[in-house]
Amino acid sequence: MAFRLPTAHLRRVATSATATGAVRPVASSLFQSNRAARSSRWLATPAYPVTQDSVGSKGPTAMVFLNMGGPSTVDEVGDFLSRLFADGDLIPLGRLQGYMGPFIAARRTPKIKEQYAAIGGGSPIRKWSEHQCEEMCKILDEVSPETAPHKPYVAFRYANPLTEEMYTKLLADGFGNGKGGRAVAFTQYPQYSCSTTGSSLNELWKWRQRLEGKTGPADDGSDGSISWSVIDRWPTHPGLVEAFAKNIEEKLAEYPEERRKNVVLLFSAHSLPMSVVNRGDPYPAEVAATVHAVMERLKFSNMWRLCWQSQVGPQPWLGPQTSTSVEEYISKGQKDLILIPIAFTSDHIETLYELDKEVIGESGHPETIKRVESLNGNPIFINALVDIAKTHLESGIACSSQMGLRCPGCKSERCLESKKFFAGQQPLPILS
């Protein structure tokens, strides 16, 4: 079953986007509700089919969730890793990308297959992404009837359903191909990085050019192609912050009261190569902004640190590493630790294997080192997605103004052209 707040309650929630794409605080009743219950893991109910069959109306609206993805079965691991290591936006290997990428993927495949087998035979990220998007669309149909019906789609960067598959389905459902229609690319990375959201948008732009042509869309929509807008970041949205804070409070309550205030909170996010960080990627700052907003909501009740996980390869990555941080704190006598996956919106191998089985399972102290629940089907989080989407649909903006600013060290022409395309329907300056 789906957890949903009453429609009348949702309609009382109002936010508005600023010129920079930021969101002003919403009515606290939505995101501070204590009605949230821990969600069980269930398969998403398929959404009813929606077809774009009219030109000029505000609906239907395609809501496209963008994410890295993960192999749903062990047999998909090899292809997943091949695509991942071929992406220079995520793992920059320079001129050796075409040689080193396949080599590293082939070397790592047997080990990674074992890890996916250990968490049930595949990643649950597709299940959760489809569930989150479908539940969001159902509520959007009620609270934003002027843009309804809302059609859920998922586009993964490295696993099925790939961006190409999603775009082909959009066209088959009647969007584009002379009929126009509106689509929103909604990143499921709350904090923007050129290696994650940027890479997904580059891929979306590539398939748009291949499947709908390199011209257009015309300003008046006369070419009949899909009109795209982007929700490119939301690191401090009140609903996201509240969902994390509630999960932390629930986990803190598992410690004896006399030890609770001394528990150290370790926020863990996927790391980045330092070559990407030094290029000027905004991700570290936006992750830090999320952490600070969560701690502010918790009234700074506990000590905390931000650390980074999932380093791959010999090149320098952003640190300190999560696993090393846990080991060092244990060596200092600090054994009450809570891990918070602050940059992930659902469970996948980084939470279920890397944090649960490696970091916690091999710590020697699984009874005192804990991890908060992932957001998954959390009703506070689902309603945050609704609020972000509704605000965006009402705003009329194509993307945040931040998206128009390239990293200081960016030399990618593909990045430049992608930004120009997605920002092209509003007067945002794109610095070349």
Task: Answer positive or negative: Cα dihedral of 81, 87, 89, 95.
Answer: positive
Q: Tokens in use for 392?
A: 């965006």
Rounded to whole angstroms, the Cα distance separating 348 from 366 reads 20
Identify the CA nearest to 401 among candidates 23, 20, 22.
Answer: 20
Sheet containing strand 227-231, edge to edge, reads 150-156, 61-67, 182-187, 227-231
Tokens 């986990």 found at = 251
Amino acid at 309: Q
Out of 89, 173, 336, 387, pick the active-site residue. Answer: 387
Q: How far out from the chain centre does Cα 220 lie?
A: 32
Specify whether 150 is catalytic. Answer: no
428, 398 Cβ separation under 8 angstroms: yes
Rounded to whole angstroms, the Cα distance separating 338 from 77 reads 30
Out of 237, 270, 348, 392, pick the active-site residue. Answer: 237
Task: Answer positive or negative: Cα dihedral of 293, 294, 296, 302.
Answer: negative
Specify whether 223 is catalytic. Answer: no
Annotated active-site positions, please?
237, 387
